[in-house]
A = this chain, B = another copy of it.
Amino acid sequence: MKKYHVAILGATGAVGMQMLESLLEQDFPIASLKLLASERSAGKTITMKGHSYIVEAADEHSFDGVNIVLGAAANDVAKKLIPHAVKAGAVVIDNSSAYRLDENVPLIIPEVNPQAIKEHHGIIANPNCATIIALVACQPLHAYAKMKRMVVSTYQAVSGAGVNGFRELDDQIEALRQHKEVEIHTFQHQIAFNLIPQIGSFDENGYSSEEMKMQNEGRKILNEPELQVNCTCVRVPVYRSHSESIMVEFEKPIDVAKAKELIAQGQGVKLVDEPEKSRYPMPLSTSDQDLVYVGRIRKDLSGHDNALSLWCCGDQIRKGAASNAVQIAKLLIASMEAKQCNE
């Protein structure tokens, strides 16, 4: 089996660390592995599953000899460094939103649009976390009955803000316990025992950037430019898993039994739907694993015969970010190897 020179850009963040873990877990064929981060983190040692790595400062020359870069850096760093990685001959799978809507960049969820891998020109974008989780949950239903409209309300974990998100929730709970003043650094307001209906900044239409991603990225990934998505994104005091309440209207009828059967057979999803036994997806039971759990599937009560409601949860750092990127990397090497065989 061919092995690859891999780099993780932004390796010291929550997603970067999870990329490292997911690469090792998924037995990715690694020839060499470079952990790249900011100057500040350079020289740090990261140990994962018995391997130790020394973090290097990322710059324009970091990508010489690298085949695959997993990007977990912020948009500005992505924009600055990724072109150099591409120039050096690497293929970059980028988790920032910098290139997601670029028409030369495929935006991929392996369970949904693996075929898009062929269209890359050096950059492949990893979608927004809430979008990945919603589309992995709905893909088996979409393939059968075609989604026309989604009304989504999210319940998003603090991990969406990385390591700082975890820390802020913990610090605030501890401050409250000690009757001290709560400090706010990462989110717009106190998140402990609260909900914040803002993720990202707001567009003029009143939707947040996170809310618009569900429609804009969803349309691109599904290649359904007419898909209508109404989304409300809310931060909740939960650590790792995002949850979503989704009402979907389909082009053709789909009953609950069929939907359950499709989810049970679907890729990347797990049906957990025995509400009478209090079994349904929850953030706690879906954390630190790669599947999106789907349950509470039921017929829409609000008058649309072709509509269903469902509830799904998935680990935001794993399937919502790092594991999806590593899955794309595996898809990429399979596609490169198939191409070489055909040549």
Contact = CB atoms under 8 A, between A and B. Distances in A.
Interface of A: 149-151, 153, 155, 173, 177, 188-190, 193-198, 201-202, 205-208, 215, 228-232, 234, 236-239, 243, 245, 247, 256, 275-276, 278, 280-284, 295-303, 307, 309, 311, 313
Contact of A206 (B173, B208, B256, B281): B256
Contacts of A239: 193
A198 B155 contact: no
Nearest to A208: B275
B278 A207 contact: no
A190 B247 CA distance: 26
| Number of copies of this kind of chain in the complex | 2
A151 B296 CA distance: 15
A283 B197 CA distance: 10
B284 A190 contact: yes
A208 B173 CA distance: 31
Contacts of A232: 153, 245, 296, 309, 311
A205 B283 contact: no
Which of A197, A256, A298 is the most central at the interface, judged by chain B CB atoms within 10 Å of its CB? A197
Nearest to A275: B202
Contact of A149 (B150, B299, B302): B302
Nearest to A297: B206
Contacts of A155: 155, 195, 234, 236
Nearest to A299: B205
